[in-house]
Structure 1
Amino acid sequence: MNDLALERRTGLPEHLRVLAELYPRETWQGHPNFSGLTAFWLERHLMFRQLMARLIEGSERHLDQTDPRFAAEMSQYTGLFLNQLHGHHMIEDQHYFPQFIPLDSRLEQGFEILDRDHHALDGHIHALADRSNEVLKLMAAGEDEKRAVDLLAATQRDFSGFLLRHLEDEEEIIVPVVLEYGADLE
């Protein structure tokens, strides 16, 4: 896996999965070092997955048959999703990653990848916000927004793929570090 860019990565290289192999996902919650804060962090990731799925479903439903609630719901959920995701990444970049990097030098490249992911996702966040705003402007002006919603749905699906890849890889680095070293997401 020479190319580890978020848009092309299909998973973490084996040398960065060293702790993930020791701590498979299905054993995480039963581990003594798995805390409420770690569970909360994973719940935030689940929320991002659910919000992204809701946005895609809303756009696809609106394309199938015009949904009078679409603009309000899309605006509300997109704003919530993007603001929460941005804030979440800031906390990880400024607090969690610096706390965990020194714990295991074998994973340093993994944290570099996660940091690059956050920068890549920032660009995708802006693209999703721009597409969403374009649709809202067309709808507010009473113009036909179907083509714009179709492009929005494609942008949402692309974003979802990038986000899901990032969240899975991030979880396979962070949670095993927490379990191995007793570190916490404090």
Structure 2
Amino acid sequence: MTQYDIKARSGLPNEMQALLRTLPRDGWKDHPNFARSIQNWMGAHQMFRDLATLVREDTESFLGQSLEDTAYAARLARFGNLLVGNLHGHHGWEDRAFFPELEAADPRFARGLEMLETDHQELDVLLDRLTIKGNRVVQLAALEPAQMATEAGDLHGIITQVGGFLHRHLTDEEDLAVPILLHHALRG
């Protein structure tokens, strides 16, 4: 089995783009098999990208002293929790139900789906780091606000990493899954 370096990978490996070449991204929405379920799944992906950006931008605003500490802590608790909780649920569903469905429809892409599941494991590690650091920042808002900036600086590095990872992973996931869905008329 080919191993793919998650951190070095900049896109879907070439051998996993067979259907993407015949069903390119710019034609998906006009394809007769592009179902509402596909649109909703991709909408969830966009929500994850947006939440990661929001947490990063809020952290930058706090560090730049344009967002007050209690407001930042409240937003971080709310939007950080939404990001982490929904990502865990979404990826758990993909690993248990969605990817097996795709693999059964087109076994040629089993290795690509395994690669995406490995991404999920790596993302879980990042999300755990984000949760621990985010919880620390939120706690400091009540316990020791003067220490928040140091911890928020560390959090900024983590959420930037999460955002970059998500952008690459979600794009890879869509580039592999949507052509399979369209080609095999799944989820319609």
**Cα RMSD between the aligned structures?**
1.3
SS at match of 1:28: helix
For 1:4 and 1:173, how far apart are their aligned partners in 2? 15
- Aligned counterpart, 2:161: 158
Matching of residue 56 in structure 1 with residue 56 in structure 2: yes
- Aligned counterpart, 2:142: 140
Structure 2: gaps of 5 or more residues: none
Structure 1: gaps of 5 or more residues: none
Equivalent of 1:181 in 141, 162, 184: 184
SS at match of 2:30: coil
Deviation of residue 7 (structure 1)? 2.2
Q: Percent identity over the alignment? A: 33
For 1:112 and 1:90, how far apart are their aligned partners in 2? 13
Moved over 6 A (4+): none
Residues 48 and 85 in structure 1, CA contact (< 8 A), matched pair in contact too: yes
Residues 6 and 165 in structure 1, CA contact (< 8 A), matched pair in contact too: no
Deviation of residue 3 (structure 1)? 5.8
For 2:54 and 2:140, how far apart are their aligned partners in 1? 21
Q: TM-score if structure 2 supplies the norm length?
A: 0.94
Q: TM-score if structure 1 supplies the norm length?
A: 0.95
For 2:3 and 2:130, how far apart are their aligned partners in 1? 24
For 2:165 and 2:43, how far apart are their aligned partners in 1? 19
Amino acid at match of 1:49: R
Matched residue pairs, number? 184
- Aligned counterpart, 1:14: 14
Matching of residue 129 in structure 1 with residue 155 in structure 2: no
Residues 6 and 162 in structure 1, CA contact (< 8 A), matched pair in contact too: no
